[in-house]
Amino acid sequence: MSKQRVLSGVQPTGNLHLGNYLGAIRNWVEIQSQYDNYFCVVDLHAITVPHNPATLAADTYTIAALYLACGIDLNYSSIFVQSHVCAHSELAWLLNCITPLNWLQDMIQFKEKAVKQGENVSAGLLDYPVLMAADILLYEPDKVPVGEDQKQHLELTRDIAARLNHQFGSPEVPVLKLPNPLIRKEGARVMSLTDGTRKMSKSDPAEGSRINLLDSPDEIAKKIKRCKTDPVRGLTFDDPNRPECNNLLTLYTLLSGKTKEAVAAECQDMGWGQFKPLLAEVAVEALKPIQQKYKDVMDERGYLESVLREGRQKAEAHANETLRKVKAALGYSMPV
Verify binding: residue 95, ligand TRP, rule CB under 6 A: no
Q: Which does 199 bind (CB under 5 to 8 A by kind): ligand TRP, ligand AMP, none?
A: ligand AMP
Verify binding: residue 220, ligand TRP, rule CB under 6 A: no
Calculate the CA 15 to chain-centre distance. 12
Pick out residues in 95-134 that bind ligand AMP (CB under 6 A). none
| x/- track of binding to ligand AMP for residues 166-195 (CB under 6 A) | ----------------------xxx-----
Q: Are 156 and 129 in contact (CB under 8 A)?
A: yes
Pick out residues in 2-61 that bind ligand TRP (CB under 6 A). 7-9, 11, 42, 45
Catalytic residue among 3, 116, 151, 202: 202
Q: Is 295 a catalytic residue?
A: no
Please pick, from the candidates 5, 6, 15, 24, the single residue that binds ligand AMP as defined by CB under 6 A: 24
Rounded Cα gap, residues 83 and 68, in angstroms: 19
CB 252, min distance to ligand TRP, A: 24
Rounded Cα gap, residues 228 and 248, in angstroms: 10
Rounded Cα gap, residues 135 and 80, in angstroms: 12
Verify binding: residue 150, ligand TRP, rule CB under 6 A: yes
Q: Are 213 and 17 in contact (CB under 8 A)?
A: yes
Q: Which does 132 bind (CB under 5 to 8 A by kind): ligand AMP, ligand TRP, none?
A: ligand TRP
Q: Is 202 a catalytic residue?
A: yes
Catalytic residue among 113, 151, 225, 258: 113
Please pick, from the candidates 136, 182, 263, 304, the single residue that binds ligand TRP as defined by CB under 6 A: 136
| Segment interacting with ligand TRP (CB under 6 A) among 142-150, 196-204, 206-214, 281-289 | 142-150
| Segment interacting with ligand TRP (CB under 6 A) among 143-151, 196-204, 218-226, 283-291 | 143-151
Q: What is the Rg, in whole angstroms, of the alpha carbon atoms belonging to the chain?
A: 21
CB 111, min distance to ligand AMP, A: 15
Q: Is 3 a catalytic residue?
A: no
- Count CB atoms within 10 A of the CB of residue 192: 23
Pick out residues in 137-166 that bind ligand AMP (CB under 6 A). 146-147, 149-150
Catalytic residue among 143, 151, 185, 199: 199
Which spans of this chain sit near ligand TRP (rule: CB under 6 A)? 7-9, 11, 42, 45, 132, 135-136, 144, 146, 150, 153
Q: What is the set of active-site residues?
A: 113, 199, 202
